[in-house]
Structure formats: structure tokens, C-alpha cells
Amino acid sequence: MDRKKKIMVIDDDKNIVELISLYLEKEGYSVVKYHSAVEALENYSKDTPELVILDIMLPEMDGYEMCTEIRKMSNIPIIMITAKGETFDKVLGLELGADDYIVKPFDGKEMIARVKAVLRRYSTNNTSKKQLVIPNLTIDMADYSIIYHGKKMELPPKELELLYTLASKPNRVFTREQLLDKIWGYDYIGESRTVDVHIKRIREKLNKDNNWEIKTVWGVGYKFVL
């Protein structure tokens, strides 16, 4: 695992949280722990997890509500934790957008297998649909739209293609000429300033606090830094 995938675990039972975290960290995942959905939601944008493991029965805000709120911001995988035999809970969770569920008491190996399967399925789906998901930003090439900090936005086609090209290869430096060739085509009659103008527009529109940035590599071009 080149970069540790971050997983958010939410359960009001501290022992359950520690047990799940132990299994996940042993497999090389990074874990953020919460015992309250309200607190987890307040810190969601800061933590930017790549998967959420969420208990249904929580104080203040239950797992169903939390799942609904996450789906307003992102389509990242969600695995619900439910008590044994609560069939209604499982169905409702899946209808609200959960990807899978774990039944208490659970086996650690089974839980890890489900986590890996959901992440693998999610990654495959994103690739086939040309949808890219990173913290606070989902780029969907199917309808040329983005979801930025939970809100859907539309960008002009060239801006979106430029953003997608950079974001799909994090930390790789693209020269202006490479971007011109890739986005505008080899026959494009223009100059590298075209790229600069489009980058400037993208930065002006996506100017909130992010865990990533489009960085200028002086004298060369640009890179998308996570």
C-alpha cells in the first residue's frame, strides 16, 4: 500500500472502535476514531476519509442520518455496523446509500475482507465511469460536473478536462506543452499562456480550504499536489 488509505470509524462503544482500529491499522490503514456522529460530521471535511465504518445506533445523530449527510457531500464507501438479526436496519442502511454492512459480533478477518472488497469495487467503478474522487472534490466526466465541498458545480469543458488530467496523476508534473497537447490537441494553434489562464480560472472557482492544490512548477508547468 503506497499511501495509507484513511478510514473513519464511528461507534459510541469505545471497545468496538478500538477493536476495529486495531484490525485496520494492522492491515496498514490510517484510522480516525469518533464516538459521536455529530462530532465526526463536524470534522469530516478535515479528515477526508476514503471509507467510513458507521454504527447505526448512535446518540444525538444515528447512523442513518449520518449516512444521509455523507451522501450529500461524497459517494465514498460506507460500511454500516448493525446488531445481529436487525434485517430492517440492513435494508434501510443500504437504501440510504451504504455499500455494505457488518453484523455484531463480527469476525476481524471478515471485516477486513469486506473493507478491501468495497474499496476495490469502488475503485473499479470510478475508473470505468471516469469519475475521480479526492478529498472535497469529485470529478465526473460522464456529465462534465464536479461536486466541490458537497455542492455540485459545472465547469467549462476545457477547465474540467484540465482539472481531471492533473488530478488523475497526483504529484506528477505536466509541462504546459503536454497539457496543450492532451487537452487541446496536437493541431491546436495557441500558446502556453492558454493553460495559465485556465489554471487561474480553476483556482478562482475552487478557492476554499482543501487538502490539495494545483501547484505551479516555475519554468516547467503544473502539478496536482495531494
Q: What is the pLDDT of residues 101-150, one digit of tens each?
A: 888 888 999 999 989 988 887 775 555 557 888 888 999 887 778 999 98
Q: Please report which confidence band the pLDDT of residue 39 belongs to, taking 50, 70 and 90 as the band edges.
A: very high
Q: What is the pLDDT of residue 86?
A: 66
Per-residue CA distances from 206 to 8, 47, 127, 187 (Å): 25, 19, 23, 30
Place of cell 496536482: 224
Q: What is the pLDDT of residue 3?
A: 62
Hey, where are the domains in the chain? 6-128, 131-225
Bond preceding residue 170 cis, omega within 30 of 0 = no
The arithmetic mean of pLDDT across residues 86-98, rounded, is 71
- Residue 195 · residue 120 · CB < 8 Å: no
In this structure, the dihedral spanned by the alpha carbons of residues 178, 183, 186 and 188, taken in order and rounded to 10 degrees, is -120
Q: What phi, psi does 141 have (nearest 5°)?
A: -80, -10
Q: What is the pLDDT of residue 190?
A: 53
Q: Does domain 6-128 have CATH number 3.40.50.300?
A: no
pLDDT tens-digit map of 40-61: 999 988 888 999 999 998 988 9
The arithmetic mean of pLDDT across residues 82-98, rounded, is 72
Q: Please report which confidence band the pLDDT of residue 216 belongs to, taking 50, 70 and 90 as the band edges.
A: very high
Percent of the chain residues topping a pLDDT of 90: 42
Same fold, 6-128 and 131-225: no
Q: What is the pLDDT of residue 26?
A: 94
Looking at per-residue pLDDT, the higher value among 129 and 206 belongs to: 206
- Among candidate residues 66, 21, 24, the one with its CA nearest the CA of residue 44: 66
Q: What is the pLDDT of residue 2?
A: 45
The CATH number of 131-225 is 1.10.10.10
